[in-house]
Amino acid sequence: MAGLFDKQADLYLDARPNYPSEWFSKLAGLTDHHVLAWDAATGNGQAALAVADHYERVIATDISEPQLKLATPHPKIDYRHTPSTMTDDELVELIGGESSVDLITVAQAVHWFDLPRFYAVAKRVLRKPGGIIAVWGYNDVVVSPEFDEVQYRFHAQTLPYWKYPNIQHVFDAYGALPFPFESVGMGSEGEPLMLEMPKTTSFEGIVRMFKSWSAIVTAREKGVELLPESLVRELETAWGGADLIRNVVYKAFMIAGKVSV
């Protein structure tokens, strides 16, 4: 996934939904200790900031330097660039060593990973017993019948420009995502926990969210504009006008587990 979101890092910063604080409270309640957490593919640090409310220290890593440059500083968070050339042993040492991590989080990103490699590293660094890993994502935003009809037609036009098979895990709400960890009651392999993320946003905000999709950038690089002004105007009309603030709901899904011992 190296470089996939570099070109729209600034859009990513303010366009994506916020993860509910109760998610992190529940996950923290499942770990035996609250010393060290690892937020993988942290991006701009959105999830890491919430994790820091519950753990003494957070290692927040990402392969994208442009994303990390926009990350919000926090005294408990140590942002680290992890290039694809880094070995597993180097990554384990960077994070904290064997059996050192109380919570691993991956927000809207695990589907891009080399899963066997990531899971092997996760099993090494998770505290045993007592450590938890949680991965989650979202794949839909519900606005209104009028707006949703237009946005679903728009989404259909983006399908050829996503990176497959990775993005299919998101479209399938992680229903087929491999997850070799023992369930802790917050989703499991083949049975993700279905969740909702409410957000109050403007029309500009929703358009910025669309523009942050990697498919939009990929299409543009191929000379295809998936969000022409005519479509933006159609979306604006369906929204109810550029000045209207709406409450929307993002459809999310989570799987959490622990290393079997």
CA dist 72 to 77, 149, 201, Å? 9, 36, 21
* Residue 5, pLDDT score: 46
* Residue 12, pLDDT score: 44
Task: Spell out the domains of the chain, with CATH numbers in brackets.
Answer: 2-141+165-198+250-258 (3.40.50.150)
Strand partners, 144: none
Residue whose C-alpha is closest to residue 261's, from 196, 169, 182, 204: 182
Tokens of 103: 């919570």
* Residue 136, pLDDT score: 98
- pLDDT class of 17 with cuts at 50, 70, 90: confident
Residues 209, 257, 110, 94: is their CA dihedral positive or negative?
positive
Strand partners, 252: 138, 195
Query: What beta strand segments (E) does the chain contain?
Result: 36-40, 57-62, 77-81, 103-107, 132-142, 182-183, 193-202, 245-258
* Residue 212, pLDDT score: 87
- pLDDT class of 45 with cuts at 50, 70, 90: very high
* Residue 261, pLDDT score: 79
Q: What is the pTM of this model?
A: 0.91
* Residue 238, pLDDT score: 98
pLDDT surpassing 60 at residue 14: no
Residues of the chain with pLDDT > 90: what percent?
A: 89
